[in-house]
Structure 1
């Protein structure tokens, strides 16, 4: 074998090992932060001997931390990850994921934050469809109508109390105007981890939203998919819950966040 062939084979083997390591690290998530060797083997499809060897090496190098008979992403990874987002605005970090979700669903995706008694669109990836809901950066919307408002209220009790002190304005026939109904809807949102609404703020429009959290498990904002109900009937919204939650979790991970209740 020539030196060139030997070098090419070595590079190929290195890339293969890196791919296997990436596969192991990708098996961990905020919803499954601790995994056993069996869990990792099932998630990656790799042989037990390969998983055991790589996990042992990853643990010795600080990529993974051992927790009795299971493993979690090593704290050393947090140290390495910090420079990746240093100097970048949170929205700059989240923007690629926002666009990816838009491309997956074909509909407009937005990121909302709470401002006073309103929600404001702070980031947007617009649909390429000609027929679309009107939305722009900086647009202020009521908190009691729509899926994003539901999410923002579900993880902010003080904001919820403030909104309930004022009358709930009727915007469409589907808008919630009863304090009791809004409280019930917000509790359901918190229990489910997402919200779906149809026609609450605008007739013939649908939306679904999920929360994104920071490192202190505080709510950063609401990730939203929105569009005309003609293209987004309830069954379509329900089918998009999984990619919505996956993207919200990915965004939370990107900014070093964690979900409430997680250590």
Structure 2
């Protein structure tokens, strides 16, 4: 028989549910790491406690543990992401394979366009940038490690167009009204025909993106590659074949790696 939940534990769970405070230790650790990552700089104990809703004393203790294990590093201004996380990230097979295969392709694409380049993989309803090359856009619309929504970005449309799982596409469309859903479905159909997707200032104001999918030998989407530039003078028609060629080249390189 299950042991009864104590009044104190029940109260703590209710309080956490009401305030949005992370409940278990792992939730709290992840909340702290996410907050530090999203700050794009240093974070103090007070800032972390305010952002996560975790008691300051608990934040201080968990940060100390994370520092000892090199997930965080202390500075004079607070804490920053440590090398241990970069080491773990570097072991992720898909990004590592992409970086190795994509480098010469990105060099050629950058020489041909001079624009901001991204290679991203799908994660949930977002696209996660794993490689970013800065072009003439200032500030850069995204960088490695940053998420962008799949439903608006050219990167996301390029991947979703070749995704067989309807539930993934449905999740990506959450929040879109009926008119925007119809447009989105038509866009995906066009991408399947043309192998190229376009984001006309949907994600970042004044920024146009063009992307093409990177597929596995079985035709499953592994990632997407994009070019982004200012809407004022970005020649989308010129970029389309360049991005499509780069995606095909990267698809072939990844296929040779797997063979």
TM-score, with structure 2 as normaliser: 0.57
Corresponding residue for residue 239 of structure 1: 238
Structure 1 range deviating more: 104-113 or 180-189: 180-189
User: How do residues 17-166 of structure 1 correspond to structure 2 at under 5 angstroms?
Assistant: 89-127=97-135, 129=136, 131-158=138-165, 159-164=168-173, 166=174
Q: Give the helix-richer structure, 1 or 2.
A: 2
Q: Which runs of 5+ in 1 are unaligned?
A: 1-87, 170-175, 258-263
Name the CA distance, whole Å, in 2 between partners of 1:191 and 1:134.
27
Corresponding residue for residue 179 of structure 1: 181
**Aligned Cα RMSD in Å?**
2.0
Corresponding residue for residue 253 of structure 1: 252
Name the CA distance, whole Å, in 2 between partners of 1:89 and 1:101.
18
| Contact kept in structure 1, 2:134 and 2:140, CA below 8 Å | no
Corresponding residue for residue 223 of structure 1: 225
TM-score, with structure 1 as normaliser: 0.56
How many aligned positions are there? Answer: 159
| Contact kept in structure 2, 1:95 and 1:123, CA below 8 Å | no
Name the CA distance, whole Å, in 1 between partners of 2:179 and 2:208.
18
Q: Which runs of 5+ in 2 are unaligned?
A: 1-95
Name the CA distance, whole Å, in 1 between partners of 2:189 and 2:137.
36
| Contact kept in structure 2, 1:132 and 1:227, CA below 8 Å | no
CA displacement 1:63-94 (0-9 Å, x = unmatched): xxxxxxxxxxxxxxxxxxxxxxxxx6232111
| Contact kept in structure 2, 1:205 and 1:228, CA below 8 Å | yes
CA displacement 1:39-82 (0-9 Å, x = unmatched): xxxxxxxxxxxxxxxxxxxxxxxxxxxxxxxxxxxxxxxxxxxx
